[in-house]
């Protein structure tokens, strides 16, 4: 089952005024459903849909910037950032931030709508296809980190790992810290998952701590990976999640006893 898309629902004290702004200033096509059981106006531009509903309680929607000090209220994906900014600016729309690259590698700009909401128009700017792959692996691992106590003897999830095989499949695992010696590193857990699914050749691996920083596999896992395949020295390991810098396992394992066999 897939989730294909989403639409944005905004409440407003003056649905007509807000609809007029999106129609005249931002170029959205409007379709009114004000006589329906739940009155609303639908706004369309390209594949984006915004639904406006009238606030019946007399309370305006408070933008995230007012509530929390930061954050957008909607993010619209586009690859025409500069053209849209120029179009909106010519229409008299307030530009909050002009087109720029963020620290998350998004090319974007933001505006303020008629209700004070911060709306961003942008898109992730992948430097290479490899960057996109590393982002996927990092996200898979980071989303699994959740240090918690299973019992008086076992904690799990303080570290997570994601590996990609030569076939392009991704396997994940979390660390298991036990009082006995039966615990397991996150990277070894991911490898066990991989082996269980019939694969053994790793191309990339990411290890992520709960605070979001990346780490290199432990020395024991170095040896485990080296034993899996003759080409294991070519396994790429992520060492920087901001610039997507990597290192080869062979560079971290200058001497391995299995080379003699």
How do residues 157-175 score in pLDDT, each as one tens digit? 999 999 999 999 999 999 9
Predicted confidence at residue 124, as pLDDT, reads: 83
Count helices and strands in the chain by DSSP H and E runs: 7, 15
Predicted confidence at residue 4, as pLDDT, reads: 80
Torsion of CA 250, 251, 253, 258, to 10 degrees: 30
Predicted confidence at residue 111, as pLDDT, reads: 97
3-state secondary structure of 89: helix
Cβ atoms of 38 and 53 within 8 Å: the answer is yes
Q: For residues 99 and 97, what is the distance between their CA atoms, to the nearest angstrom? A: 7
Residues forming beta bridges with residue 41, ordered by sequence position: 32, 52
190 sits in which H/E element? helix 186-196
Cβ atoms of 187 and 193 within 8 Å: the answer is no
Predicted confidence at residue 201, as pLDDT, reads: 95
At 178-224, the pLDDT tens digits run 988 788 999 999 999 999 999 999 999 999 999 989 999 988 898 88
Using CA atoms, how far residue 57 sits from 53, 60, 67, in Å, is 12, 9, 19
Predicted confidence at residue 244, as pLDDT, reads: 82
Q: For residues 239 and 127, what is the distance between their CA atoms, to the nearest angstrom? A: 17
**What's the mean per-residue pLDDT of the chain?**
91
Structural domains of the chain, ranges and CATH numbers in brackets: 8-124 (3.10.180.10), 129-260 (3.40.140.10)
For residue 132, what pLDDT band results from cuts at 50, 70 and 90? Answer: confident
Predicted confidence at residue 81, as pLDDT, reads: 94
């Amino acid at each position: 089952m897939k989730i294909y898309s989403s639409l944005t629902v905004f409440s407003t004290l003056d649905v007509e005024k807000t609809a007029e702004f999106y129609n005249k200033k931002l170029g959205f096509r409007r379709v009114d459903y004000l006589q329906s059981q739940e009155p609303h106006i639908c706004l369309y531009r390209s594949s984006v849909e915004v639904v406006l509903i009238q606030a019946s309680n007399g309370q305006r929607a408070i933008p995230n910037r007012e509530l929390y000090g930061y954050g957008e209220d909607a993010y619209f994906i586009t690859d025409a950032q500069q053209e849209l900014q120029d179009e909106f600016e010519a229409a008299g729309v307030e530009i909050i931030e002009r087109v720029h690259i963020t620290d998350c590698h998004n090319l974007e700009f933001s505006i303020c709508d008629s209700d004070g909401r911060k709306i961003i128009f942008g898109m992730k700017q992948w430097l290479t296809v490899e960057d996109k792959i590393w982002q996927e692996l990092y996200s898979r691992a980071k989303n699994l980190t959740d240090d918690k106590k299973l019992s008086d003897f076992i904690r799990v999830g303080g570290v997570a790992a994601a590996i990609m095989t030569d076939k392009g499949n991704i396997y994940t695992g979390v660390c298991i810290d036990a009082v006995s010696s039966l615990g397991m590193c996150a990277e070894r857990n991911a490898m066990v998952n991989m082996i269980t699914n019939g694969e053994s050749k790793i191309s990339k691996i990411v290890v992520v701590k709960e605070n979001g920083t990346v780490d290199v596999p432990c020395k024991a896992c170095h040896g485990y990976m080296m034993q899996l395949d003759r080409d294991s020295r070519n396994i790429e390991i992520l060492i920087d999640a901001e610039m997507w810098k990597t290192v080869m396992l062979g560079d971290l394992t200058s001497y391995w006893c299995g080379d003699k066999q």
